[in-house]
Structure 1
Amino acid sequence: MSRDDGRVTLALAGAEGFEQASAELAQRLLLPLQAPDRPLAELLLCLDEQGLSLRSTEADVPGAAATGAVRVDFVGGALAHRRQFGGGAGQMVARAVGIRGAVRPSILDATAGLGRDAFVMASLGCDVTLLERQPVIAALLEDGLRRAREAGGEVAEIASRMRLIHCDAISALCDWSEAIPQVIHLDPMFPHREKSALVKKEMRLFRPLAGDDNDAPALLRAALALASHRVAVKRPRKAPAIAGPAPSAEMKGQSSRYDIYGKKRLE
């Protein structure tokens, strides 16, 4: 058996030696357990020595294309390269949230996803609170943060500035009782058109789970009401702005842009 949320079936499998941890996680996420080599669900959340990953089981069907696994990795891979050679404060996300000179605003990333933008902002010295409402994506992110903290050194220091909250962002922003964030970063789900194989793989796995963010206008309203200085919204380069107030500025890259909603100058 596997859980069916109306869009996709999902189950959890643990490698040898991870039976107890897998059972505890399956209970927390309300997912059935199954053998990793006998998948019955369309998507499989796997726990092994490399951590938690999500993969499609379509590759287990003769003739189906292999999708590969997706995991949150702050220690190596693309994020390690970006940390060392990504351009620092000159990156578009850094400029969009107002990082410049000695200015390091407090940031709330209300659509955390796999945490890549949050990690970049934290690597540049910002304290970042991450909100993620989808339970499986939040579990992947939690696992990635745990491994980053256990790795020690610079990566652990960066991860120490990242705090994850599993919650519905709109509800959380409307009932926020903690320190007011200076900047809120939003990256609502949209139909990705990038040709990157990695993006295609992630969207193929995550869109059935997360769906489209049809409540993006409500999220923007809540963010504008809470942020003290600005809201930065990531969009496809040619997509319309989210319904609501017009942005006060735009920042365009090759395939995406940021709509900036300024409220007060960051100093």
Structure 2
Amino acid sequence: MSDERSTRIRVEALQPVCGEAVRAWAERLGLPLEGEADFVLQLGSDGLQLTELGPQAPGPVRVDFVEGAVAHRRLYGGGSGQMIAKAVGVQPGVRPIVLDATAGLGRDAFVLASLGCNVTLSERQPIIAALLEDGLERALRDAEVAPIAAQMRLLHGNAIELMRNWQGEPPQVIYLDPMFPHRDKSALVKKEMRLFRPLVGDDLDAPALLEAALVLATHRVVVKRPRKAPVIDGAKPSYALEGKSSRYDIYPKKALKP
């Protein structure tokens, strides 16, 4: 569950020209523009970012599909040979329609979109959803990345409710990456988990998330887990793909064919 109610967040502009847009974000998210805070949502020339305040705070986090780690993975990450691609069923002539129901910062969704999948992203935490929305808008303005971003659609709201009340053609594959206690040693993951855990907490409703996904997906559900973590309570996966630090539990319903 989220500890958001006890986490104080305000919004601020990093440049005067951003003042009007910042006021719009503050009104939309129901956040103050001043006062004491643990975190600050900042808007500047590089987009929207979330920053923790305090002496030991890490740097800001924002969604960037154009540069940095995501760009490097797009260019040099192994393409359709990546484990996530195999997990969702990417193969010659097959690019599944995917719902990433726990989108977070959208990195996995972007990888799948870059491989040619149409991906719907669902994020229930309003501030993380705002970072995602801002990142997607900036990606659409970049000539090289825009075609990939155009294959990504963002939905705000609780994924369980969205799946139970799904409108239109159901996704072939639903991808779940519930929040869990990260033990990844990389500074980037530690920074993001430190920032987001007070907002998101652990996904205690992961069994209900899996149950709803298994009802909606037409072909398979994929759950990303730490390599040694137990499977989510409920239906058991048919098989798993295992990497160094994580694994993908696969719940097949029907074969994906060209």
> Fold-level match, TM-score > 0.5?
yes
- In structure 2, runs of 5+ residues without a counterpart are none
Write out per-residue CA displacement over residues 36-76 of structure 1, whole angstroms, 9 at most, x where no aligned residue.
xxx72001100000000001001xxxxx2241000000000
Name 1:126's counterpart in structure 2.
117
Distance in 1 (CA, whole Å) between partners of 2:243 and 2:139 is: 29
**Which residues of 2 match residues 37-48 of structure 1 at below 5 A?**
40-48=36-44
- Alignment of 1:247 with 2:237, yes or no, is yes
- Alignment of 1:78 with 2:59, yes or no, is no
What TM-score do you get using the length of structure 2 for normalisation? 0.97
SS in 2 for 1:259: strand
- Alignment of 1:230 with 2:220, yes or no, is yes
Name 1:12's counterpart in structure 2.
11
Distance in 1 (CA, whole Å) between partners of 2:162 and 2:187 is: 33
**What is the CA-CA distance between 1:102 and the residue it aligns to?**
1.5
**What is the CA-CA distance between 1:101 and the residue it aligns to?**
1.1
- Alignment of 1:146 with 2:133, yes or no, is no
- Alignment of 1:30 with 2:9, yes or no, is no
- Alignment of 1:199 with 2:198, yes or no, is no
Structure 1 residue runs of 4 or more that deviate by more than 6 Å after TM superposition: none
Distance in 1 (CA, whole Å) between partners of 2:27 and 2:164 is: 30
C-alpha contact (below 8 Å) 2:221/2:250 kept by paired residues: yes
Distance in 2 (CA, whole Å) between partners of 1:121 and 1:11 is: 33
**What is the CA-CA distance between 1:117 and the residue it aligns to?**
0.2
Distance in 2 (CA, whole Å) between partners of 1:143 and 1:95 is: 29
Distance in 2 (CA, whole Å) between partners of 1:178 and 1:65 is: 47
Count of residues paired in the alignment: 254
**What is the CA-CA distance between 1:176 and the residue it aligns to?**
0.6
SS in 2 for 1:74: coil
SS in 2 for 1:65: coil
SS in 1 for 2:6: coil
**What is the CA-CA distance between 1:167 and the residue it aligns to?**
1.0
Write out per-residue CA displacement over residues 225-246 of structure 1, whole angstroms, 9 at most, x where no aligned residue.
0000000000000000000011
Write out per-residue CA displacement over residues 92-138 of structure 1, whole angstroms, 9 at most, x where no aligned residue.
11111000111101000000000000000000000000000000000
Distance in 2 (CA, whole Å) between partners of 1:29 and 1:7 is: 16
- In structure 1, runs of 5+ residues without a counterpart are 59-63
Letter of the aligned partner of 1:24 in structure 2? Answer: A
Write out per-residue CA displacement over residues 149-200 of structure 1, whole angstroms, 9 at most, x where no aligned residue.
01122x0000000000001100010011111100000000000000000000
C-alpha contact (below 8 Å) 1:7/1:209 kept by paired residues: no
Identity of aligned residues (%): 61
Name 1:158's counterpart in structure 2.
148
C-alpha contact (below 8 Å) 1:186/1:232 kept by paired residues: yes
Distance in 2 (CA, whole Å) between partners of 1:160 and 1:197 is: 30
Name 1:61's counterpart in structure 2.
none
- Alignment of 1:258 with 2:248, yes or no, is yes
Higher relative contact order (CA 8 A, sep 6+): 2
Distance in 2 (CA, whole Å) between partners of 1:178 and 1:211 is: 31
Name 2:168's counterpart in structure 1.
178
What TM-score do you get using the length of structure 1 for normalisation? 0.93
SS in 2 for 1:224: helix
Task: Answer with 4-13 or 206-215: which moved more.
Answer: 4-13
**What is the CA-CA distance between 1:262 and the residue it aligns to?**
0.4
Distance in 1 (CA, whole Å) between partners of 2:99 and 2:6 is: 29
